[in-house]
Amino acid sequence: MKAGSSSRRRRFLNLRAFLHAWRKLAAAQAAAGEWAHPDGGVGGEAIPKDVPRGHTVVYVGEELRRHVVRVSSLDHPLFRELLDRARDEYGFAAADARLCIPCDEDVFLAVLCHVDADRESRMALCS
């Protein structure tokens, strides 16, 4: 097995576990009437009403401050490190199924700035 394929498989399993936990939360919130269904119908995937398409919610720091981030950011190496730490600290079997990031909020915001800067530089190269 190639060294890179092991890393890709681990990353896939982490994202898969995150999506499973998020779907579990979405089902519970939809049952409580707090989330909207994207197609306006009953059942299927639900998203928070105030979260734009292509984004998700994470809770950061000791005070669990809510942040909305791009789903594409989850695949950045720095963000993956934060997800790995969250998995190690909390696991993905939390009762409320919220994605909590166990780091200082300033560190989290610095990671987001770096992820956004990388994204913008790649987009500038493509135009």
What is the chain's Cα-based Rg?
16
Alpha helical stretches, state H, 32-102: 77-90
The per-residue pLDDT for 99 is 85
- The count of residues in the chain is 127
The per-residue pLDDT for 89 is 84
The per-residue pLDDT for 39 is 42
Give the C-alpha separation, 44 to 36, whole Å: 10
The per-residue pLDDT for 88 is 87
Two tokens, residue 29:
């919130």
Question: Residue type for 76, please?
Answer: H
Instruction: Name the DSSP class of 56.
Output: E
Distance of CA 23 to the CA centre of its chain: 12
* pTM (predicted TM-score): 0.59
Structural contact between residues 66 and 57, judged by C-beta atoms closer than 8 angstroms: yes
| Predicted confidence pLDDT, tens digits, the chain (127 residues) | 555 667 767 766 677 777 667 666 666 555 555 544 444 444 444 567 788 988 999 999 999 999 999 998 888 999 999 989 888 887 765 555 778 898 999 999 999 999 888 777 766 666 5
Give the C-alpha separation, 119 to 2, whole Å: 28
